[in-house]
Amino acid sequence: MNLYLKPPDGRVFVTAPRQAPAAGIREFVAGRLDWIRAHQERMKNAAARREEEPELTKEQRDRLRERVAFFAAKWEPRMGVHASAWTLRKMKTRWGSCTVNTGRIRINTRLYFYPDESLEYIVVHELCHLLEPSHNRRFQELMTGFLPDWKDRRRRMRSE
């Protein structure tokens, strides 16, 4: 069984095998109520923060574009990859995304409001997808090899 929370309000979705009894599904969900409530609260706070964040000005977008270009120039040669294009986009649920077959990487404009260490983490994360498309063990090993403190950076981002 798998449990998902759907942004922005944290509605609970559960997938289960067809033969799973309803009582078993309820028990599965009940055993995760603390986790559900904590993550729903986090989603609510994140949604409130997004509403507070204004659209970036041209100057802010230019500054973010410069910082992305700086980290791309730093990491692409080290990692032996090259993104075909970097674009900035306001996204609700992701910090970045990568289309592996085209090499296009999109960066969430909200990263303007985060420290450079967070932006660097996302740039490295998306570049790693050019080497490994999924978030499997190899991907995590690549991340650790390139950016050993990536888990700490991710944790700090999630707590902001």
* Residues 120, 147: Cα–Cα separation, whole Å: 9
Q: Which residues of the chain have pLDDT under 50?
A: none
Q: What is the pTM of this model?
A: 0.69
Q: What is the pLDDT of residue 149?
A: 97
Fold of 58-159: Zincin-like (3.30.2010)
The CATH 3.30.2010.10 portion of the chain extends over 58-159
Question: What is the Cβ-side half-sphere exposure of residue 139, based on CA atoms within 13 angstroms?
Answer: 13
Q: What is the pLDDT of residue 84?
A: 97
* Residues 75, 27: Cα–Cα separation, whole Å: 46
